[in-house]
Structure 1
């Protein structure tokens, strides 16, 4: 259940799109009392009876209102600034814009990183990786240029405007690999993906070692759908990559060991609990699998002495 303070009560009112008078009547309090709740915000913990009333109102709300409430509830934490994030966002020295799909890519320099739950030392050559997962807008360029079939969730085969900045989903490994070839890139190996997500020093999560669900779109957010790829600024990885945890599972180029025609997936999704989101976690699926929580991003080997594509 939600822990209700004056802040959460206000966010529920906004999600339901009710004015103060109508929302107060739903809760069974006066408009003046509601105004006090909202003014005091997080400093005011509501009595048990009011907690239960708000729980009931939320449970009876339609799915659109519940999604709006979940989005509002996590919005502040998603963009919460800290020195690490500010430093990463202000520095573009190691980024380029790819000439084919115009996606921003960041350099992951050659060297050792700590891999897996046991932090084994692994060497990787330098490479560039997309800062954001491939979006519906990105994928639309590919579909237009190649005639590749669009994802099944696009109405009439056209990229939905409301989802343009969300990660593309309903793409098989073959679809993702075709996009990578068209753009002159590749799908990342599971090791490349993990290093971009954790950095070199063995972090448990992209942002550090503390399991903070508000920094990513996992099941705990209760959004139940994808979110824009640039939303979770506070969850950015040490290399400046977004959505390395949550939002969508991402296809890799590494073949799985549990059967033929299967490739590894990384990162978890909005359907997954945070406990199944660590960057070293192994997951895999058949190359023909498509789902509403599976997408991808691409990599490109860095040139010696520079980062040009």
Structure 2
């Protein structure tokens, strides 16, 4: 555990159990140098406690990088609640989690993520004020999709010569809250949609409402398209899957898309432009952070529009140095988080 913390430069790990509600939670605080740690709370079934811990640590690091590059006065954190086969009371479970968050006295601010909802955050809010994306604060998913859409346009402009998405084939892997909202925006822009999801109902809805073409989950990555948008869980890009890709760019909302940085180098060698996930999908965090600070919608939308400019700058830097945008963005984030440190890559 300590080796994992040191390798990811995590400040602290907090493990909590509550036998009454069945709560098993991990809260990882990666960095508080720029401000209190802000990050989502996942509620998923994990194959092992170790995998839950690893997920929390990797996502917390991504939140730090995301906040730093977006210029937010927040650090990065992440909570993971291990989902059991049966829970007596979901509301009581999240109230217990709220008490755990309160014990950290503001060092960590929680929010919705995969498997959680604004209703869950309302339960958390009964025991702590260090929570956002409640019913009152609003769901960040539409804003995350807006940011990814802007990033896809920037990626198309850089790789294909135009930010006009009309007629482009975009493969959307995963039709959750953000993925479906992104598909709606792509459809409105005239893109041809290829979609996959483990839920057949979501695929049917995309077919009916957006004219999307269904593709089997196991076949989507090898299907010819202009842009692949991973919008499910992480780890989709590995040595095997990247070898199958038939696209010009990868730009999606999923966190932790790369299994490691060597895969980013593989994408670079294949001539496939990669949009660093924590840059292109930062719209949700931007919304959470600025809403928590009481910002007006105009200020939030201005920050969302800057995502495309931020990506363009990373692409230019990467092209000049003939390196992967993933390595460039990591180094830029690390320079903000560890200004006096060397050899953090």
Question: What interval of TM-score do these two structures reach, taking the shorter chain for normalisation?
Answer: under 0.3
Please state which structure has a larger fraction of its residues in helix.
2
Q: TM-score, normalised by structure 2?
A: 0.25
Structure with greater contact order relative to length (CA < 8 Å, sep ≥ 6) = 1
